[in-house]
Amino acid sequence: MADGSVEEDVLNTQCGYDVRLKLELEQQGFIYTKGCVGQFEKWLQDNLILVAGVFMGVALLQIFGICLAQNLVSDIQAVKANW
């Protein structure tokens, strides 16, 4: 390594390294031209029913928990009223 060839021993892990040497069709599997936000919005639109179902399920669980908590509070108040 005294001859100065250290660069050849180091693996280049930079983004896009050697991608331009591939054919254009192969490049499309490595180079993404759409941003994350746009792709996420597209995914949400494609899976709108699933996302809405999950949100409704979580909301119903939250409402159920609130009802149970309110019931507990009223039971505690009823017990305190009997003292």
Q: What is the pLDDT of residue 47?
A: 96
Low-confidence ranges of the chain (pLDDT < 70): 1-8, 10-13, 15-16
User: Is 40 strand, coil or helix?
Assistant: helix
User: Distance between CA atoms of 81 and 83, rounded to whole angstroms?
Assistant: 6
Q: What is the pLDDT of residue 16?
A: 67
Q: Find, among 6, 36, 31, the residue nearest to 16 by Cα.
A: 31
Q: Find, among 25, 3, 21, 24, the residue nearest to 12 by Cα.
A: 21
Confidence (pTM): 0.54
User: Which DSSP category does 79 fall into?
Assistant: H
